[in-house]
Amino acid sequence: MARPGRPLKAGRVQRYTTVVLGAGGVGKSALVMRYGQNKFLDRYDPTIEEEYEVTVEYEGRRSVLNIIDTAGVEQFTGINENYIQRGVGFVLVFSLTQEASLRELDHIRQHIYRIKGGEQASSILASDGRNHRTDQGYNRTFPSYQAMQELAVKWGLPFYETSAKKGWHVSEVFNDLLSRMRKRYPNGTPQSKKRRRDQCHIM
């Protein structure tokens, strides 16, 4: 978000296509809704595909994120590959209570690298926000925070442990990704011609 009292820089607003990927039920939609509309989805409703246009004021600049909230990608299809072709930034989401969801992310990460190449896309690794059920914590089954940091270093990705329910570190995920996309693509990416399903603004 823009710092209070800091004027926005003049110039054309850049647009960036961001794709949220991960296995089904890991909290992708919860993270997107918390970031875009500051709401928490308490009930799991399987996503087919949703697109959101989010106007963000961050570091003194305004940008527009076209966020594609995808269905679970237990197996890759042509549709999944089309998402990757369209995107320049990726949020890779897994569940701290579903070990298989982290293994799935490794496949997704490799697909992104194969389709886009290492120099053409920015990615962020984020833990599940849906399973933070109570103030006392959640049923974490794996892995330790230190182990995740080590894996993130191995994969070359920044890692955030988030909670969509509490709002913890959700903005940091998307803002970090936005900074990386701005550096890699200072002129933004072409705006999708597909009709937007929803609109929201981050101030």
C-alpha pair distances (Å), 198 with each of 37, 46, 184: 10, 17, 27
Has residue 3 been placed in a domain? no
Residue 125 lies in a domain: yes
pLDDT in tens, 134-170: 334 556 666 778 888 899 999 999 999 998 888 899 9
Range of the domain at 88: 14-202
CATH number at residue 181: 3.40.50.300
Q: Residue 2 falls within a domain, yes or no?
A: no
Residue 179 domain flag:
yes
Most confident among 6-15, 18-27, 57-66 (mean pLDDT): 57-66
Q: What is the pLDDT of residues 68-101, one digit of tens each?
A: 998 776 555 666 788 899 999 999 999 888 888 8
Question: Exposed e or buried b for every residue in 191-203, given b needs 16+ CB within 10 A?
Answer: eeeeeeeeebebe
5 in a structural domain? no
Domain assignment of residue 9, yes or no = no
Instruction: Name the pTM for this structure.
Output: 0.82
